[in-house]
Chain A
């Protein structure tokens, strides 16, 4: 996890921006890479956190409110 160079992050930004059809000039690529590198450092402990397979994401989606009454 610590072997990524600034050049790798620049490459990642260029490649993922192309994948998302997001046009970026070189100056933007450099600025975005700086932010992404900062986030990557911040998220490193979270990436090391052991999570069991049934640790599901926090929910927000619900298909419909649970019915107040059972169907007749």
Chain B
């Protein structure tokens, strides 16, 4: 470890190391929680990952775990694991603001979101809610109402977005696990920029009930962590069908944790070229090359229609997001995030033909992408074009062109989520652990999170993809 990172630096251990210590009686869940709260109090004035603390609830949940152990009960899978959620998840008793001001004054949530319920059932301890781009429309978490989340790897830079608080809290060692959302890259982008692991599951894998929507036909929820084991264990705890979410297509749980240590022997792994090379800066290319070398991946695999898919994802997001907010925009546009309100309005005004065409294309696109996975088990691509940009930067340079920062950070994630494929974002360090990280997407066919997590675990075991606690 370098001076910049250390295993703890006061930060939390990995989630499952806490769970094992609690189970073995080496640590109380309440002690783990106290450690976590202390870290939040030290770091958060600089990082600004948290918007709300739920410490009283957390103490109750931690004490319940300790009491169950004292009674000799078998503890559930995540007993004692502290975690936090993006503030678009319903938390009973809190108003779900989704990063906005316009939702202040709305009644508090009457119940937890389904995924928060599942975390509670698994024994996890909820410590708070996390900062985000307003209504999830952004890739930088430069939230004008609640302040920007700062990247723990370099506090002058963005944490990515829209789940920026999720990436920052995990990188800073404030909590070992967070839950975020990903519509166009909002788990993968902050994972890439903050140097943590993120999982965007298959579209329709996890229930979204009780989370504030952005784009119903594209919204996914998923976990962040500093180890692949934590990522898989959390993902397993979140799984389960939900007939009340029309976008939840999973019929049963398919556990992944037990698969992650399996050999990669026989897996066909490729690295994407074409669009994904053309839109990657030098660090992103080096990170991809590094991962591809470790995994003996075949280079130059062509992903079908990536540019069309990115355009279709952009139009779909603008139209659905704009339409969702139109009633409020009529009355209270001035209270919206100035960095995204004009994009919401532009989306609301888009011709219907653009949106319908995008959705018609999406059906054909799905067939083309799924056909690609007849030849490949796992495909690799950079997660972001560049590393974290300085807060307030309007543009970044990409292969000789100036790109607008806020919409362009998702150039490489949008084509993949438009197909609905599961992706693990792996944290690589092409310039060494002293410098900034950048992520690589580990992409599998729909419903094959197990393969993406297996390959991610191999990258972690090789040492090229790691997530130390930031030394702040």
* A→B interface (CB under 8 Å): 12-13, 16-17, 20-24, 28, 31-36, 39, 42-43, 45-47, 49, 51, 55-62, 65
Contacts and interface: CB of A to CB of B under 8 A. Distances in A.
A49 B349 contact: no
Q: Which of B311, B326, B350, B353 has the most CB of A within 10 A?
A: B311
Interface of B: 216-217, 243, 246-247, 307-308, 310-312, 314-315, 318, 326, 329-330, 333, 342-343, 345-346, 348-350, 353-354, 356-364, 366
Given A46-B311, A46-B357, A60 B342 contact: no
A43 B342 CA distance: 18
B115 to A, nearest CB: 19
A56 B359 CA distance: 8
A23 to B, nearest CB: 7
Contacts of A20: 326, 330, 348-349
A57 B356 contact: yes
Contact of A55 (B246, B247, B346, B363): B363
Contact of A51 (B216, B330, B349, B357): B357
A45 B308 contact: yes
B315 A39 contact: yes
A42 B404 CA distance: 14
21 contacts: A13-B349, A21-B330, A23-B330, A24-B345, A32-B345, A32-B349, A34-B342, A35-B346, A36-B346, A39-B318, A42-B311, A42-B315, A43-B354, A46-B315, A47-B354, A49-B361, A51-B361, A55-B360, A56-B363, A58-B363, A62-B246
Given A56-B363, A60-B247, A36 B349 contact: yes
Contacts of B314: 39, 42-43
A60 B217 contact: yes
Contact of B342 (A31, A58, A61): A31
Q: Is the interface of B mostly helix, strand, loop or mixed?
A: helix
B326 A60 contact: no
A49 B307 CA distance: 12
A16 to B, nearest CB: 4
B357 A47 contact: yes
A58 B345 CA distance: 24
A47 B314 CA distance: 14
Given A21-B330, A39-B346, A45-B307, A58 B216 contact: no
B315 A58 contact: no
Nearest to A35: B346
Most buried by A among B349, B356, B358: B349
The 3 nearest A-B residue pairs measured at CB: A57-B359, A35-B346, A58-B362
A58 B308 contact: no
Contacts of B307: 45
Given A17-B349, A35-B343, A36-B350, A43 B362 contact: no
A57 B362 contact: yes
A39 B317 CA distance: 11
B349 A56 contact: no
B219 to A, nearest CB: 11
Nearest to B357: A46
A13 B314 CA distance: 19
Contact of B246 (A16, A51, A61): A61
